[in-house]
């Protein structure tokens, strides 16, 4: 990525959208909207001082909602260009409230609340669509209880938990445990605030709150308004402190998730949603299970699936190595449902198709290998580019020229074309670039021939 950012013949237009495409192969006019970042890219040094001071905390989409970010943020640490963006949906200043802390903090003077969107026109010879994909939403499958059971997560969410730069620093903390820890932190702040209020009364009357509260409940001080306020504050303090102590005791038993279940083909190979195989899910689950075992030697993983499709070079050997050295068990099965178990543990009920028996097993964490779904903006982009989509919602291509779309001069690669893994996406990217060069060179040669004939 750094090489791309530094290449003299490559212009990166991040945080931009294509709005219109006109012309023909070799001579396209593309209208692009460059969105206002409210941060000057050429001035921003990426020091992140602004994010440290920003008071607005929101959910972090890059971490799949498992962590938080500020209203001024960078999408991820290694992003190119290395600059920040202000989210206009959450920024207090842009919403008409008084703030501007980031502007006061920025020593590079990069914050510009007056910045506007810019419309840019590009003249290009060919276009390559590499718009990626979206993750299938497993909440539409009720038997998996994705939104109802905290410790049922998607493979992409699990990927962020495994990452050293993720919300847990690479530790396999369960979402249910993290929610309780967040509640403990919130209650602790409330207790501290109420305790300060109570201590003022104790200091004034030189009496402990517990002794006073007992006397107050016995009917004393009924006509004393100030002592009534003391009683009210202390009652509120007790109402918060008691559940806090209960949660703290519960949190003492928390540990990293050690028993994992991976459920394959969630949305894939399913005529209710996507009948195709998403291709990369099996190997992705095996990779995640191996990494999880590297994080903790006691970690065990069970991969539930109709079959394991390890179709690439060395993939079958990788699968076997995972079973032999990373505590991975492969279970040929069909999942019936996932239900709540004790201690927030999901219980997987499934049919073991080899033994032809229905079984139930409790896990610390269940990971859903979700289907590769077409990008949510694919339909809108197809209309802008005037190219067609196939029956599944991916960009339609020629049978004889598998990277050529239905409009000459526009090509496609990666998961915009269909489900595929990283090596295949990289290979297609190179192929699409070669096809684009053919169009550009042919158009250049045609123009040169016209000039020669005219002269």
CATH, residue 342: 3.50.50.60
Task: Tell me what pLDDT residue 388 has.
Answer: 97
Using CA atoms, how far apart are residues 33 and 30, in angstroms rounded to an integer? 10
In a domain, 280, yes or no: yes
Which of 165, 227, 124, 161 minimizes the C-alpha distance to 365? 161
CATH code, domain carrying 101: 3.30.70
DSSP state of 396: P
Task: Tell me what pLDDT residue 425 has.
Answer: 95
pLDDT mean across residues, the chain: 93
Same domain, 277 and 351: yes
User: End of a domain among 374, 408, 431?
Assistant: 374
| Mean pLDDT across 101-112 | 96
Count Cα atoms within 13 angstroms, Cβ side, for 299: 24
Task: Tell me what pLDDT residue 58 has.
Answer: 95
Question: pTM value?
Answer: 0.90
Of residues 219 and 107, the one with the higher pLDDT is: 107
In a domain, 8, yes or no: no
pLDDT grade, residue 1 (50/70/90)? low
User: End of a domain among 205, 222, 251?
Assistant: 251
What is the domain range of residue 239?
176-251
Is residue 449 scored above 80 in pLDDT? no
| Mean pLDDT across 46-68 | 94
In a domain, 326, yes or no: yes
Is residue 11 scored above 70 in pLDDT? yes
**What is the SS3 assignment for 398?**
coil
Same domain, 199 and 169: no
Same domain, 450 and 390: yes
In the chain, DSSP finds a helix count (H) and a strand count (E) of: 11, 18
Answer yes or no: are the C-beta atoms of 176 and 166 closer than 8 Å: no
Same domain, 62 and 99: yes
In a domain, 92, yes or no: yes
Task: Tell me what pLDDT residue 81 has.
Answer: 85
In a domain, 11, yes or no: no
Cis upstream peptide for 81 (omega within 30°): yes
Burial class (CB in 10 A: 0-12, 13-18, 19+), 440: middle
Cα distances (Å, whole numbers) of residue 377 to 132, 133, 231, 273, 404: 10, 9, 58, 18, 20
In a domain, 5, yes or no: no
User: End of a domain among 335, 352, 374?
Assistant: 374
- Digit-coded pLDDT (tens) for 114-136: 999 999 999 999 999 999 999 99
In a domain, 401, yes or no: yes
The total of structural domains in the chain comes to 4
Same domain, 52 and 97: yes
* Range in 106-120, 210-224, 319-333, 383-397 the model is least confident about: 210-224
Which of 107, 81, 85 minimizes the C-alpha distance to 38? 85
Same domain, 370 and 380: no
pLDDT grade, residue 220 (50/70/90)? confident
- Digit-coded pLDDT (tens) for 60-95: 999 999 999 999 999 887 788 889 999 999 999 999
Q: Which residues pair with 304 in a beta bridge?
A: 263, 331
Please report how the helices 225-251 and 209-217 are oriented relative to each other, as an axis angle in degrees rounded to 10: 120
Same domain, 86 and 197: no
Range with top average pLDDT, 80-84, 114-118, 217-221, 446-450: 114-118
Same domain, 245 and 299: no
Same domain, 213 and 321: no
- Digit-coded pLDDT (tens) for 284-293: 999 999 999 9
pLDDT grade, residue 450 (50/70/90)? confident
Same domain, 398 and 332: no
Same domain, 279 and 365: yes
| Mean pLDDT across 223-228 | 86
Is residue 254 scored above 90 in pLDDT? yes
Residue percentage of the chain with pLDDT more than 90: 87
In a domain, 49, yes or no: yes
Answer yes or no: are the C-beta atoms of 170 and 164 closer than 8 Å: yes
**What is the SS3 assignment for 235?**
helix
pLDDT grade, residue 447 (50/70/90)? confident
Same domain, 40 and 51: yes
Of residues 194 and 1, the one with the higher pLDDT is: 194
């Amino acid at each position: 990525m750094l090489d791309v950012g530094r290449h003299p013949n490559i212009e990166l237009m991040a945080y931009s959208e294509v709005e219109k495409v006109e012309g023909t192969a070799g001579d396209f006019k593309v209208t692009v909207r460059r969105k206002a970042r409210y941060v000057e890219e050429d001035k921003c040094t990426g020091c992140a001082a602004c994010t440290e001071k920003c008071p607005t905390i929101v959910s972090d989409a890059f971490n799949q909602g498992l962590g938080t970010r500020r209203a001024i943020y960078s999408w991820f640490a290694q992003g190119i260009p290395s600059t920040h963006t202000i989210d206009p949906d959450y920024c207090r200043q842009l919403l008409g409230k008084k703030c501007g802390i980031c502007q006061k903090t920025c020593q590079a003077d990069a914050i510009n609340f007056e910045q506007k969107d810019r419309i840019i026109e590009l003249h290009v010879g060919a276009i390559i669509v590499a718009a990626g994909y979206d993750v299938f939403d497993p909440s539409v499958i009720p038997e998996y209880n994705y939104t109802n059971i905290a410790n049922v997560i998607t493979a992409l969410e699990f990927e962020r938990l495994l990452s050293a730069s993720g919300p847990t620093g690479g530790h396999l903390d369960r979402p249910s445990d993290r929610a309780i820890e967040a509640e403990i932190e919130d209650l602790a702040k409330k207790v501290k605030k109420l305790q300060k209020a109570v201590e003022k009364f104790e200091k004034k009357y030189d009496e402990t709150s517990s002794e006073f509260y007992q006397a107050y409940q016995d009917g004393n001080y009924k006509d004393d308004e100030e002592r009534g306020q003391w009683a009210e504050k202390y009652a509120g303090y007790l109402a918060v402190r008691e559940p806090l102590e209960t949660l703290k005791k519960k949190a003492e038993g928390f540990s990293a998730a050690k028993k994992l279940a991976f459920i394959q083909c969630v949305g894939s190979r399913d005529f209710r949603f996507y009948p195709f195989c998403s291709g990369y899910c099996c190997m992705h689950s095996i990779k995640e299970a191996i990494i999880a075992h590297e994080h903790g030697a006691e970690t065990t993983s069970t991969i539930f699936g109709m079959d394991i499709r390890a179709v690439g070079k060395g993939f079958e050997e990788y699968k076997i190595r995972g079973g032999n050295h990373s505590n991975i068990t492969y279970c040929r099965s069909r999942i019936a449902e996932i239900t709540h178990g004790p201690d927030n543990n999901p219980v997987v009920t499934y049919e073991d198709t080899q033994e032809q028996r229905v079984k139930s097993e409790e896990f610390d964490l269940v990971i859903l290998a979700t289907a590769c779904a077409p990008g949510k903006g694919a339909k809108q982009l197809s209309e802008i580019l005037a190219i067609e989509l196939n029956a599944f919602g991916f960009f339609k291509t020629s049978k004889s020229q598998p990277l050529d779309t239905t409009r000459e001069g526009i090509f496609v690669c990666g998961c915009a074309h269909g489900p595929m893994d990283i090596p295949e996406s990289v290979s297609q990217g190179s192929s699409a670039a070669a096809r684009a060069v053919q169009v550009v060179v042919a158009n250049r040669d045609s123009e040169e021939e016209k000039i020669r004939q005219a002269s």
